[in-house]
């Protein structure tokens, strides 16, 4: 059942322009690493996200990441973090809000442990507070 759900999410996401994070360095991480065997990618568009005031969601989880994969993602993340207008960093978690355009907000969420790396890119009109209330309750 879980595989079917992932398949539906992935196939549904294929219709979406995955270049939404174009202009941000982390786009290269999705392009390069999401195709690896140890990676799971989820892409959702505005239809599924409308009730959350979001227009695009792109995530990638890498299980048992290599040191090279972690270094690559963190190097790209540093490039985007340099232009961030908001940084929230705790042990193992990083949240960045990137400069918005035309009422849109752009966010990067990053979590790294020895077991996995999770990288999430979100676009929409929702504030960071709204996103945290909806998705980061735990």
Question: Structural domain boundaries of the chain?
Answer: 2-135
For residue 15, the 8-state DSSP code is T
In this predicted structure, which of 14-23, 52-61, 80-89 has the lowest mean pLDDT? 14-23
3-state secondary structure of 127: coil
The whole-model pTM stands at: 0.81
The pLDDT tens digits for 111-137 are 998 899 999 999 999 998 998 888 766
Q: Are 34 and 60 in contact (CB under 8 A)?
A: yes
**pLDDT exceeds 50 at position 15:** no
**pLDDT exceeds 60 at position 87:** yes
> What span, in angstroms and rounded, lies between the C-alpha atoms of 119 and 42?
11
């Amino acid at each position: 059942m879980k595989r079917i759900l992932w398949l539906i999410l992935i196939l549904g996401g294929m219709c979406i322009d995955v270049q939404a994070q174009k202009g941000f360095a982390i786009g290269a991480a999705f392009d390069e690493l999401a195709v690896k065997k140890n990676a799971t990618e989820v892409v959702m568009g505005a239809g599924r996200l409308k009730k959350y005031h979001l227009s695009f969601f792109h995530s990638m989880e890498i299980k048992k990441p290599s040191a090279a994969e972690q270094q690559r993602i963190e190097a790209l993340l540093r490039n985007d973090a340099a232009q961030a207008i908001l940084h929230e960093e705790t042990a193992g978690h990083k949240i960045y809000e990137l400069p918005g355009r035309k009422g849109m907000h752009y966010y990067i969420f990053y979590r790294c442990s020895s077991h996995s790396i999770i990288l999430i890119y979100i676009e929409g009109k929702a504030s960071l507070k709204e996103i945290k209330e909806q998705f980061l309750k735990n």
